[in-house]
Structure 1
Amino acid sequence: MDGKLFTLEEASALLPKLQEDLRQLQQLIEQMELLNLELQKIKVSQERMKTNRTAGNAHQGQDPFFEVESKLEFMQIEAQLLLSNFTRNGVLLKMIKPGLIDFPSVLDGEDILICWKEGEERIGHYHGWHDGFMGRKPLPENNEGNSH
């Protein structure tokens, strides 16, 4: 397997920073969803105005969507930067809401993913690469077996 492998201790040490990035990403996505709704309302409103106005009264050259679309584009760039933080750290962000983060690791010679789900106080589960979240098992109490 290529890429970084984490011990439980390394994953636990990185988790607070990842949780902060996740919170920022979740807030940003909520703001983007609200802004997208606003954009849809503006488009509906513009369409109504367009059908109600005569050709001589039309405002030429103005883009009524530019400001909101620009904000959305900037927010998308911010979201991509936050998402890339997870990749740069070698972890897998499986779900944004609720947050689900996997840390590649090895347990007893087998490639696994140490798994954390938003709401859990600490990392305490793992699953195989192909088992997914439903295959989660509790980490052994003495998890010193994780190695690189």
Structure 2
Amino acid sequence: MENKRFTLDEANDLLPQLKEDLLKLQQLTAQFEEQFVLYQKTKAHHKKFASPVKEKADPFFEIEGQLDFMRMETDMLIENFSRKGVLLKMISPGLIDFPAVLDGEDILICWKEGEEHVSHYHGWNDGFMGRKPFPEA
């Protein structure tokens, strides 16, 4: 959704759905990371103790398929943020920017996980450290 601009009210109206989407994404990335570490350990162990005789089946085919599927799900969830016109800056902790205009200037209304509602903004080049309270908040 290119060039979408949000008002503060629109950002706050969308926030509950974004929080839900973010939670799903955080859970999925945590599962992926856990599964990937297990995969790496298992593969290293297998390599260390495997017989030099060629195995008939790839013992890692199933877990690699699961990891690929989880990665595709993660990519889809991340893309859903873009489709809604918002910028997902960080997954954990969640950090989301909403393109907006304030006094004729392009800005980003920003929300950080843990905040009840959207109430701050910053310039496109200021980043999170340059955030200020939104005038209407």
TM over 0.5, shorter chain:
yes
Q: 2:126 aligns with which of 114, 131, 134?
A: 131
User: Does residue 45 of structure 1 match 2:45?
Assistant: yes
Q: For 1:128 and 1:121, how far apart are their aligned partners in 2?
A: 22
Q: Which has the larger radius of gyration?
A: 1
What one-letter code is carried by the residue in structure 2 that aligns with 1:103? F
SS at match of 2:100: strand
Q: 2:58 aligns with which of 60, 63, 66?
A: 63
What one-letter code is carried by the residue in structure 1 that aligns with 2:95? L
What one-letter code is carried by the residue in structure 2 that aligns with 1:40? Q
- Equivalent position of 2:86 in the other structure: 91
Structure 1 residue 90: Cα displacement: 0.4
What one-letter code is carried by the residue in structure 2 that aligns with 1:15? L
Structure 1 residue 41: Cα displacement: 1.4
Q: How many residues align?
A: 136
SS at match of 1:131: coil
SS at match of 1:6: coil
* Per-residue Cα deviation, 1:111-137 (whole angstroms, up to 9, x for no partner): 100000000001110000000000000
Percentage of matched positions with identical amino acids: 59
Structure 1 residue 10: Cα displacement: 0.5
* Per-residue Cα deviation, 1:5-53 (whole angstroms, up to 9, x for no partner): 0001111000110111110000000000010011011111211222xx3
The alignment's C-alpha RMSD in Å is 1.2
* Per-residue Cα deviation, 1:66-111 (whole angstroms, up to 9, x for no partner): 1111000000110011001100000000011100000000111111
Q: 1:74 aligns with which of 69, 72, 81?
A: 69
- Equivalent position of 2:32 in the other structure: 32
Q: 4+ residue stretches of structure 1 with deviation over 6 A?
A: none
